């Protein structure tokens, strides 16, 4: 819970973009629900960056941070940026067991898992959904690196062994017929996405009044490949009105999650490069930008073109970082 949070956001530019996309999504949902009155529950990490951002951007003032590492919890007590954050030295499992979910009108819950314990995490997703109600929003982030299923060695092909391990770890939430190619680096996030959705549907079993609405899914890497999924629960008779008022179907990053998660991978640009590239936007294509620069930024030219295309999509969500003397 605390491992990923120890990495500063300025070293995780792809995650920072993904976080800004989440805020953008919540602001659009705010056309239907007053998200400022929602309670936010998440993993704050030592710096509580997400909490500060959600408070400043959306005026959410009822917040709970979960942290099971006592030393990180102590850092949170020192670093707490606003008084409206309630700090709890407990795990998400402990919280799910003890918290009265009827005490708040509506919730935004982000379980941003840093470990690779996918079996326990999927079980928690089911438990969480069982406790949520109409209008509640949830977001799940998991490690999507297939290396967690087993490292390559001198033995037979690693993919069949990883596929067998995935069947065990994903358990009842696994899609049928997992194939070796489902656990390569490119496809493993899609396998996990299906499993998360299955876990959420298990949580709704027996409640015909609510429907699960997937809203967005992204895959990104800042050292480790990560998958994130966001959805909401709606009364079946309010689904059409929700999409009409939020206009989420017109949001460029909306996804019903029947396709692969959208990749967030942008080039590492100098400040001068970024200023120049943004001066060409929104009109220029990736090819035109690279032709204008007369060089590419990336490991190779195909990767550079793909990442520049992503930058064009996400540049408005890309934060600026600079040195500040305090």
Q: 């909401």: which residue's tokens?
A: 232
Q: Report in angstroms the alpha-carbon separations of 109 from 28, 128, 177, 229, 230.
A: 17, 9, 31, 12, 10
| pLDDT computed for residue 156 by the predictor | 61
| pLDDT computed for residue 150 by the predictor | 84
Cα(1)–Cα(194) distance, rounded to whole angstroms?
23
| pLDDT computed for residue 154 by the predictor | 47
CB atoms within 10 A of CB 301: 11
Name the burial class of residue 226, with classes exposed (0-12), middle (13-18) and buried (19+) by CB atoms within 10 angstroms of its CB: buried
Token pair of 161 as six digits: 């062994």
Q: List pLDDT tens digits, range 164-194.
A: 999 999 999 999 999 999 999 999 999 999 9
| pLDDT computed for residue 157 by the predictor | 84
| pLDDT computed for residue 324 by the predictor | 65
Q: Report in angstroms the alpha-carbon separations of 63 from 28, 107, 146, 189, 295.
A: 20, 10, 33, 29, 46
DSSP string covering 249-294? GGSTT---SSSPPEEE------HHHHHHHHHTTTT--HHHHHHHHT
| pLDDT computed for residue 19 by the predictor | 94
Cα(20)–Cα(265) distance, rounded to whole angstroms?
14
| pLDDT computed for residue 153 by the predictor | 63
For 84, phi then psi, to 5°, come to -85, 10
pTM: 0.91
Q: Which residues of the chain have pLDDT under 70?
A: 1-11, 152-156, 322-326
């Amino acid at each position: 819970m605390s491992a990923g949070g120890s990495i500063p956001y300025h070293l995780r530019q792809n995650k920072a973009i993904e976080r800004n996309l989440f805020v953008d999504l919540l602001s659009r949902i705010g056309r239907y629900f007053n998200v400022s009155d929602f309670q936010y529950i998440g993993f704050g990490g030592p710096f509580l960056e997400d909490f500060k951002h959600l408070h400043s951007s959306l005026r959410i003032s009822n917040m709970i941070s979960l942290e099971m590492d006592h030393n990180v919890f102590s850092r949170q007590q020192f670093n707490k940026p606003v008084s409206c954050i309630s700090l709890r030295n407990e795990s998400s499992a402990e919280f799910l067991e003890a918290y009265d979910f009827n005490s708040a009108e509506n919730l935004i819950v982000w379980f941003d898992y840093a470990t690779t314990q996918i079996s326990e995490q999927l079980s928690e997703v089911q438990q969480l959904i069982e406790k949520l109600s109409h209008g509640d929003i949830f977001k799940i982030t998991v490690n999507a690196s297939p290396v967690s299923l087993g490292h390559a060695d001198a033995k037979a092909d690693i993919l069949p062994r990883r596929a067998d391990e995935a069947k065990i770890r994903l358990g009842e939430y696994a899609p049928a017929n997992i194939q070796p190619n489902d656990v390569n680096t490119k496809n493993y996030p899609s396998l996990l996405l299906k499993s998360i959705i299955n876990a959420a549907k298990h949580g709704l079993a027996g409640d015909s009044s609510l429907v699960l609405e997937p809203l967005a899914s992204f895959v990104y890497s800042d050292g480790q490949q990560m998958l994130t999924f966001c959805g909401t629960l709606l009364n079946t008779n309010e689904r059409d009105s929700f999409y009409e008022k939020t206009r989420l179907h017109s949001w460029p990053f909306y996804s019903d999650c029947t396709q692969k998660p959208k990749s967030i991978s942008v080039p590492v640009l100098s400040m001068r490069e970024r200023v120049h590239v943004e001066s060409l936007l929104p009109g220029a294509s990736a090819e035109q930008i690279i032709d204008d620069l007369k060089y590419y930024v990336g490991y190779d030219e195909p990767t550079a073109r793909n990442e520049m295309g992503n930058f064009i999509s996400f540049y408005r969500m890309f934060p600026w970082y600079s040195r500040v003397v305090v």
